Amino acid sequence: MARRPVRNSRCYTLSALAAILAVSAAVSVILVEMSPAPILLSITNTTQKSHSTFAELTFTLAAINSSPRARVLYRSIYVVVCSNNNTTNTSSSGAPDAGRPCIGIDMAPVPLHQNPSSTERIHAAAKLEGADSPWVSLGIMPSLNDFGGNFNDVSVNVSALARFKRPGIPWTSLYNINASCNHIRFISQANHSSAVVADELSDSDAHYCEHYYRRLG
């Protein structure tokens, strides 16, 4: 009769450990399900068209959602294009700073919904004008001369706000996705084959970006 309490206490201990493990596993699953989906950003189809008074840089931002379960809702996508040629104060991370000319682009359309295991491509253009442009004279945007007329070393920096949704789980908090795509060459449109379609570019044509997530709120 004296051994029954010991046996019962062992059963209680094992039951408690099993419950703790079950709760820990459930919490781990929820944390994984509430985490952001793996998004890979790249810049493709980079071309430039130059004139005597202005130049236009065109490119495609590709967002690859490799998750087979998670949907993505992009609330905003903002891109900054910077020249690395005409600068004396370039940061090692490739982030925009006061030492080099940059131009911002508010990408559209947003909000943008992305399905699991899919790629979204957004085409964009940045126009650089001469020094006589009112936007340049007011200091709102850099001039064509600020870029030095050389588009062989350009950085594209992306900042996006997004939420993620998996089946049976509420939408996640808002995440800030920051990406830096460095040392990109914009090819002259005259030397770029008109038969190339952005949606059919191979991986060898893509400039993949270094990125990180930051949870907001």
pLDDT in tens, 135-145: 566 666 777 77
Domain count, the chain: 2
Do 102 and 53 lie in one domain? The reply is yes
Domain that holds residue 9: 1-33
153 contacts 85 by C-beta, under 8 angstroms: yes
Q: Quick one: tokens of 33?
A: 């399900």
Most confident of 72-76, 184-188, 211-215: 72-76
Do 194 and 139 lie in one domain? The reply is yes
Do 173 and 114 lie in one domain? The reply is yes
Do 69 and 107 lie in one domain? The reply is yes
Give the tens place of pLDDT for each residue, 108-131: 678 899 999 999 999 998 888 776
Residue 29: what pLDDT? 43
Residue identified by tokens 């931002």 is 61
Average model confidence (pLDDT) across the chain? 76
Predicted confidence band of residue 8 (pLDDT cuts 50, 70, 90): low
Do 131 and 72 lie in one domain? The reply is yes
Q: What angle do CA 150, 156, 161 make, to 5 degrees?
A: 160
Do 100 and 197 lie in one domain? The reply is yes
Do 20 and 38 lie in one domain? The reply is no
Predicted confidence band of residue 217 (pLDDT cuts 50, 70, 90): low
Candidates 213, 215, 209; CA nearest to 40 is: 209
User: Between 56 and 25, where is the model more confident?
Assistant: 56
Share of the chain above pLDDT 70, in %: 64
